[in-house]
Amino acid sequence: QKEVEQNSGPLSVPEGAIASLNCTYSDRVSQSFFWYRQYSGKSPELIMSIYSNGDKEDGRFTAQLNKASQYVSLLIRDSQPSDSATYLCAVAGGTSYGKLTFGQGTILTVHP
């Protein structure tokens, strides 16, 4: 079992819809949670970071963290075709110290 698991994709949503991406992690003492966006052949780009239980909003993006359930999610509102990419959930801290442990990624396609 991977330490970080993401919901299986690919995920396809129409333009303007809400895209929901989910992630679970196994290390209960993890401290930091990140969502990165990666276009094919490019480097991961930070979308959101979240450290405390609850919701964190930044523009069209909302990250949700539930440490009791070891679950983190990302909602993308008003999805745009330019949001089409692979979204990587990453976890750090705890027994992993600073290194990022990534999920396998979810491919999101936003169609016009």
Residue with smaller CB distance to other proteins, 17 or 38: 38
3-state secondary structure 18-76: CEEEEEEECCCCCCEEEEEEECCCCCCEEEEEECCCEEEEECCEEEEEECCCCEEEEEE
Which of 70, 104, 107 lies closest to 89 in space, CA to CA? 104
> Residue 55 Cβ, how far from other proteins at the closest point, in Å?
19
> Residue 13 Cβ, how far from other proteins at the closest point, in Å?
22
Q: Is the peptide bond before 10 cis (omega within 30 degrees of 0)?
A: yes
Residue with smaller CB distance to other proteins, 8 or 15: 8
Residue with smaller CB distance to other proteins, 54 or 112: 54
* Interface ranges with other proteins (CB under 8 A): 30-32, 34, 36, 41-46, 49, 51, 88, 92-94, 96-105
> Residue 110 Cβ, how far from other proteins at the closest point, in Å?
21
